[in-house]
Structure 1
Amino acid sequence: MRFLLFSLTFTLLLPSANAEGTDPEAYMTAPEMIRRWGFPVEIHDVITADGYILDLFRIPYGRHSIANSTCHRPVVLFVHGLGTASPEFLLNPPESGPAYILADAGFDVFLINHRGSTYSKRHVILKPWDNKFWQFTVDEMSKYDLPAAIDKVLEITGQKQIYQIGNSQGTLVGFMTMSDHPEYNSKVKAIFQVGPVSTSHYSKGLFQVLFFLYDSLKPVVDFYRIALGSHEVSQGIPLLYRELIKLCLYIPYVGTQICLGTIHLAFGPPAKTINISRVPTYLSHIPSGTSTWNALHLAQIASRIKVEHMDHNPLENMQRYGQATPPPYDYSKITAPIYLIWGRDDWATTGEDIDKYLMKELRKDVASIEVPGYNHLDFVIATDCAERVWNPIVEIMRKQEDGMCGR
């Protein structure tokens, strides 16, 4: 759902000018975006235990460095949000793009692409046009994708631990992995959860409306899920949206206010630090793909105010979990150091959601860092996110490292 709202709101912000002058990164792949700014990039395959083939991108060092085997570069793995992919951390130029900032700061950066996203639509047997390919939710991402990516990163680098940075749904996947597979806690030095998702039950604006509709139409939703199975939520933006957007864009001032109002309704108070010239790039890389089951699972979590495995039906639940109801994720098993970085103006995952659920489920020594004035999107696209979010994260990491590369 996040990616659908993202698509609509940022499409509404598209300049009324024609394609001439559009940012060239709007037409680039993630590796091309990385190379454009002078960073090295590697592409690795990650094969999960259930056969999905994920693209794992690596930025081994920054623009001002050279490959140096004697230089200590701590490893960072970025985990993207719902309906997005690794470009989420590459949308801004190096001065404010999270992955670039970490690479230039001396870290060995990896970016996962979860199953079903633009760069991970491969399987050893299944094809993307098979419904079975799309029978997954965050359960499978946390059970298969993230553990496989962590193991691959450790294999490539020869290191014993990594730093993990999640955003939006990527934070939820991280919590789930460390809960159901506690052995992975020892493989991470710390987990930075940016825009952390707990249940989203206390979300506001359009998210609140969507979750209300899920509750109201649950019998219909259940029939749809059982009868039709799971399939891809389209990457494309519906034609009707595009036509409505044109009307918005071509009406001076009024159109702008409608656009800003839509962002306010979806993600929180409009950011004052969005680079409008980059909007075509944002829109071309988001949304990426996900499954209908995944969207329904997230709605289930919001509805029940608890993070449980996907509720299929009593019979299938018995087959999957050994009980008629889906088991909850036990956050008490998370032992890795956790930093929550969140914004009070984030309507997708609110401060109330963090206080009433997340902080109660996690152990007491979790660090909670509020970024005043930030909504759900600002953490990765605000022009001042380097100084307000990513540079402070770098400093926290540096204090834990001895003799790492200066750059």
Structure 2
Amino acid sequence: MRLLLLFLPFVFTLSITSADDQADDPEAYMDAVYSSCNRPPIVFAHGFGGGSTMFMTNPPESSPAFILADAGFDVFLLNHRGTTYGRRHKFLKQWENKFWQYTVDDMSKYDSTAVIDKVLELTGNEGIYWIGLSQGTTMAYLTLADHPEYNSKIKVLFQTGPAGTAGYAQGPVKIALWAYKALKPVVDFYRIAIGSHEVAFQWPSVYRPLVRLCNIIPMAPQICNSAINLLMGPSTRTINMTRAPVYLAHTPSGTSTMSALHLAQMASRLKFEHMDHNPAENLRRYGQLTPPPYDFSNIDVPVYHIRGTADILASEEDVKNTESLLKKGVVKGSFRIEGYNHIDYSFATDCAEMVYNPITAIVRKQEPDMCQR
């Protein structure tokens, strides 16, 4: 497996790309990892349409990756296939349709496992800590549900903005889900006729002028902040809007239509299940006509759910639905942060105090000899 070194003190990225016909060959993917001292390794897994930069675009005191690096961790930032930093492939180019032939199943089966194994290999540790954000929480659950041998490789799951199936999400996502259900025959025809391609991609010619307007026109920052709150929830926390050009220089970061449709499928059915291709393809892949559910009874890793009260994408109902699927005693804590919306876990100026200092305190109880600040 090839390594590309990114020299950021104690913060390291690992990026994966894929194509459907290469998905079972981790050697086909180009990783980017750099490691140093023996600190507890912690992996950040980003949300839908995001990437590793979600955790490092603020000043160090309010960037999750640097907060935890300063606290004594080796921090690894996962970039799933299809993101801006996860597009290097040995055989395929990103403009080829095959490059985008992957679903959430592939991301959880191959990306997450490859990341975990590589981090353990590089650090020499027996287990990692995992911080998921939104889709990143789902990836961890699906990986452990289908590959229970990875329970022994993850010490704790810290699930921020745990959207679950997102079937109870509000705002524009609820409208999009309604449209998906209403137009399902059209969506299916489109998927067959066009195939999978990139969505949620960078469009600098559109994003950058809009960002400049947010910082130039009087009252524009408030309007831009209101737009964020419409999408993510009515936050009462502070986001540094002067950093908006940096945020939108990296976000959205890209994924495939098939992965987006897979998430929509789970949301519409309120079930964690494999991709529903069609009866014939399901029979070939799964040995049955319908997609099998993910077995959450296989999950043994201690879980902490961290959800903001203003988060309209990770609703209280979705969190309860996920927790009902987990075995009794797996969830060690379910915390609510007053006024946090779906991106405050990454971008709020007080995220160290509200999210990452408490996470560090929990880990220190298990790792009393970990590096000090």
TM-score (norm 2): 0.90
Map of 2:327 onto structure 1: 363
Q: Structure 2 matches for 1:332-347, cutoff 5 A?
A: 332-347=297-312
Distance in structure 1 (CA, Å) of the matches to 2:230 and 2:281? 37
Secondary structure of 2:62 counterpart: coil
- Asked whether the equivalents of residues 11 and 76 of structure 2 are also in contact (C-alpha less than 8 Å), the reply is no
- Asked whether the equivalents of residues 41 and 57 of structure 1 are also in contact (C-alpha less than 8 Å), the reply is no
Superposed displacement of residue 80, structure 1: 1.2
Map of 1:211 onto structure 2: 177
Distance 1:156 1:247, change over 3 A: closer
Distance 1:294 1:368, change over 3 A: same
Q: Structure 2 matches for 1:32-181, cutoff 5 A?
A: 35=8, 39=9, 49-51=24-26, 52-58=28-34, 60=36, 67=37, 72-181=38-147
Superposed displacement of residue 371, structure 1: 1.1
Distance in structure 2 (CA, Å) of the matches to 1:163 and 1:41? 14
Distance 1:42 1:378, change over 3 A: closer
Query: How many residues are matched?
Result: 362
Distance 1:315 1:117, change over 3 A: same
Deviations 1:211-247 (A, max 9, x none): 1110111110000011111011152338677777788
Q: Structure 2 matches for 1:176-191, cutoff 5 A?
A: 176-191=142-157
Matched, 1:402 2:368: yes
Where do 5+ consecutive residues of structure 1 fail to align? 1-29, 61-66
- Asked whether the equivalents of residues 54 and 114 of structure 1 are also in contact (C-alpha less than 8 Å), the reply is no
Report % sequence identity: 55
- Asked whether the equivalents of residues 162 and 314 of structure 2 are also in contact (C-alpha less than 8 Å), the reply is yes
Q: Structure 2 matches for 1:318-333, cutoff 5 A?
A: 318-333=283-298
Secondary structure of 2:60 counterpart: coil
- Asked whether the equivalents of residues 55 and 112 of structure 1 are also in contact (C-alpha less than 8 Å), the reply is no
CA RMSD, 1 decimal: 2.4
Matched, 1:299 2:264: yes
Secondary structure of 2:31 counterpart: strand
Deviations 1:317-337 (A, max 9, x none): 111111111111111110011
Q: Larger deviation: 74-83 or 168-177? A: 74-83
Superposed displacement of residue 98, structure 1: 1.0
Deviations 1:164-189 (A, max 9, x none): 11111111000000000000001111
Superposed displacement of residue 58, structure 1: 4.1
- Asked whether the equivalents of residues 164 and 318 of structure 2 are also in contact (C-alpha less than 8 Å), the reply is yes
Moved over 4 A (4+): 40-48, 238-251
The code of the aligned residue for 2:42 comes to V
- Asked whether the equivalents of residues 341 and 370 of structure 1 are also in contact (C-alpha less than 8 Å), the reply is yes
Distance in structure 2 (CA, Å) of the matches to 1:275 and 1:31? 30
Distance in structure 2 (CA, Å) of the matches to 1:258 and 1:277? 14
Distance in structure 2 (CA, Å) of the matches to 1:241 and 1:165? 28
Distance 1:343 1:400, change over 3 A: same
- Asked whether the equivalents of residues 54 and 119 of structure 1 are also in contact (C-alpha less than 8 Å), the reply is no
Secondary structure of 1:270 counterpart: coil
Matched, 1:276 2:251: no
Matched, 1:390 2:366: no
Superposed displacement of residue 403, structure 1: 1.7
Secondary structure of 1:197 counterpart: coil
Distance in structure 1 (CA, Å) of the matches to 2:52 and 2:228? 22
Deviations 1:71-119 (A, max 9, x none): x521111111111111111122211111111111111111111111111
The code of the aligned residue for 1:125 comes to F
Distance in structure 2 (CA, Å) of the matches to 1:96 and 1:378? 11
TM-score (norm 1): 0.83
Distance in structure 2 (CA, Å) of the matches to 1:405 and 1:242? 40
The code of the aligned residue for 2:24 comes to A
